[in-house]
Amino acid sequence: MGRKNRNRQKPQQNRRPEGKRNRDDTGWGAGYSEIIKENKLFEHYYQELKIVPEGEFEEFMEAMREPLPATIRITGYKSHAKEILHTLKEKYFKELQDLEVDGQKIEAPQPLSWYPDDLAWHTNLSRKILRKSPLLEKFHQFLVSETESGNISRQEAVSMIPPLLLRIEPQHKILDMCAAPGSKTAQLIEMLHSDMDVPFPEGFVIANDVDNKRCYLLVHQAKRLNSPCIMVVNHDASNIPRLQFDNEGKKDVLFYDRILCDVPCSGDGTMRKNIDVWKKWTTSNSLQLHGLQIRIAIRGVEQLAVGGRMVYSTCSLNPIEDEAVIAALLEKSEGALELADATADLPGLKYMPGLTVWKVMTKEGQWYSDWSEVPTSRHAHIRPTMFPPTDPEKLANMRLERCLRILPHHQNTGGFFVAVLEKKAPMPWNRRYPKLHNKEANCLSEVTPAEELLKGESSAEVPSVDSSPTDAPVETVEGETPVEGNTFVPDTPDLQEAKKENVCGPPPPKKMKLCGFKEDPFVFLTEDDPIFPPIQAFYDISSDFPKLNVLTRTHEGKKRHLYMVSKELRNVLLNNSDRMKVINTGVKVWSRNTDGEQFGCAFRLAQEGIYTLCPYIRARIINISMEDVKVLLTQENPFLNKLGDDAHNQAKKLEMGSIVLRYHPDPKDPDAPQCPIDLCGWRGKTSIRAFVPRNERLHYLRMVGVEVFLDKQGKRNDGPTEAQKGNTEDADAEGLGQEGDLWERQEGTKMEQNGSGSTNNGTDPVGST
């Protein structure tokens, strides 16, 4: 196919249509200079609802029209977080303090006062300013590189709030119901791995999204963190399947300790970055989304364990999507749910308490204060659950003021709403129906709890047959038929007769509809799988290694990659293969070498899973110094004698093949990294190399004091010293050539030939990646 001429001039294409996006200098992303930031209906609506304190509305609107500051978050669970924070504070931020560009003094980034341990920062640096100063360009390259390697995340400040309010511990089972694009999911994973000395936390994160394509964006975000405790699934959140797990030979229902319910919303709190919202905003958006939000929230609390915590959040300021949904949940729960007071969890965060009084407005501007005022013609679009409870005592007991609404002008953020729900008892509809004795009793409503809420009807009285303090198991058992809403009806002879006569009864279970790409299977290694003994012998894997947690993605042919998941995720996968569509799970730990068997093992270590595997590997480890790290990461195939004496002697004792290069911090050297570093490597015939992806390579180089900077032509301006360069070429095979050479290629490079005309010297076996 011929290449299009991108430079060809086309008539009448110089002018951009009204309202189209246009790059401006308002931030790091795209701007919308043609869109006028005005919406009279929006102003009238929120003035009437009084969500903003008296006398602050003009300040509120001015903040909404200002560009949103860029916010970064340092990956908190990694042992390298302190090193990155130290680099930011002591190097980049200090240099920015006294910097001036075009006579304008640069405002240094500031920490978010409410985020723990100074791990989140915001800055007003624009793309235009970043391009004008080499120093700022270095800072920008640092941010980009560290983001791609998973050590820093660009995330809106208010988006960081919900995971913090979940109070996650390593043993928690977590569900993220509407997870894409994945910034909050990444936070959940970080908190799960708060103790880096534990390679397999007891808990896990199941991240779900209804959009198949966005699930792959979610996979990309999660993979940066290299966790064996994350699973990405593709389901409608309002009907996400209830899962099972094996509990000592008995099938139990999986209830989650923590659930993040960040629902789809109208997004008027994002006007500072999504400028399209200014011209598209109307009250009908929230009226249309209200029902979906309730259904998702109800499905969430159904799957929440008693004693668990669910955070409901939106990037909308509208009480129809916020307090109205929470009030409906609390009313329907009949005391099973309680709004938690989360004010102490984030000291320093400025917020407004939740509303207890609000009204509903149509897109034409018609206001209704109560359901009784709504004409019948409007009942299809306005529901009873959109209004606050009319009973003052019931309203007071809900404690809606415990909800948090973040306004943009209070702390220079986007708008946001968040509420923390705690489950004190089983939901009233999560019970088993008693035995039915007549055909009339079989005429059960097929209406789910969410639908009953939206109709404003009270649910039918269901006699309880289970007074246990936790939700009754609802998996299908012999002699029972499933019904919508996670309830069950005994399959009695009367019910069977009713089915024959086409009498009203429970609907048949629906077959799961799968959309999008067909995923490869997840196949776990068996106890006697012949693929594992050579690996175990080559790396001297300890006996407590959970080899049954190793999986592949194929039933047939040679296995290209081996992945690992935690024990609990393995349990979930094995018991729910027909209940859920899994997009991705596990972390890659080994990759096949085509010619690897001649070196003693067909699989080499993968850098992605090195920190998961290292606690179990007892052989093929070379302890290296900080200077060795510099040599290995700045030279493509250094000879063994380039290493320090200690590392050199260790390497000479090893046969060719995959190795671990391990750096232990030296507490006597404060200038050296004070965290351990593990690198995948390959011991060649006379040389050695590190198998580390480009961005991780740059990350480790910075940690050991080697600044890496690429100019606009992609060539290195200031790099290692001549002694550090050695006889090397840049590692194009590792992706270093994508943004230009890591350093300029050296003349007179000496590469050992392996006899076949190639230059891998046995260090980069054919077929490895």
Catalytic residue positions, numbered:
315
Give Cα 101 to chain centroid, integer Å.
Answer: 36
Which residue, among 597, 608, 602, has the nearest Cα to 564 in the 3D structure?
608
C-alpha distances out from residue 626 to 63, 123, 154, 196, 642, Å: 48, 33, 30, 21, 13
Cβ within 8 Å of residue 677, ≥6 positions away: 629, 662, 663, 700, 703
Which residue, among 606, 600, 598, 570, has the nearest Cα to 585 in the 3D structure?
570
**Sheet arrangement for strand 621-624:** 621-624, 657-663, 677-683, 688-690
> Coil, helix or strand for 324?
helix
Give Cα 402 to chain centroid, integer Å.
Answer: 26
φ, ψ of residue 690 in degrees (nearest 5)? -105, 130
Kindly tell me the sign of the dihedral angle through the C-alpha atoms of 24, 27, 29, 33.
negative
Residues in the chain, how many? Answer: 769
Query: How is residue 697 written in tokens?
Result: 């390579």
Alpha-helical regions (H) of 336-400: 392-398
Which long-range contacts does 347-350 make (Cβ < 8 Å, 24+ apart)? Answer: 347/114, 348/113, 348/114, 349/113, 349/114, 349/161, 349/404, 349/406, 349/411, 350/406, 350/410, 350/411
- What are the DSSP calls for 75-89, one per residue? -SSSTTHHHHHHHII
φ, ψ of residue 609 in degrees (nearest 5)? -110, 15
C-alpha distances out from residue 100 to 94, 121, 139, 407, 440, Å: 13, 21, 15, 32, 81
* DSSP-derived pairing of the beta strands 657-663 and 677-683: antiparallel
Residue matched to tokens 């069950």? 488
Cα 179 to Cα 71: distance, rounded to the nearest angstrom:
19
Cα 765 to Cα 569: distance, rounded to the nearest angstrom:
33
Query: How is residue 2 written in tokens?
Result: 């011929």
φ, ψ of residue 567 in degrees (nearest 5)? -60, -40
Cα 205 to Cα 585: distance, rounded to the nearest angstrom:
10
Which residue, among 468, 424, 425, 462, has the nearest Cα to 444 in the 3D structure?
462
Cα 345 to Cα 114: distance, rounded to the nearest angstrom:
9
Torsion angle, CA of 647/701/719/142, rounded to 10 degrees? 180
Report whether 353 contacts 407 (CB < 8 A): no
> Coil, helix or strand for 19?
coil
Cα 670 to Cα 672: distance, rounded to the nearest angstrom:
5
Provide the angle, in degrees to the nearest 10, between the axes of the packed helices 134-148 and 694-703. 120
Report whether 221 contacts 214 (CB < 8 A): no
In this structure, what DSSP letter does residue 22 have? Answer: B
Report whether 414 contacts 68 (CB < 8 A): yes
Amino acid residing at 651: A
Cα 395 to Cα 453: distance, rounded to the nearest angstrom:
17
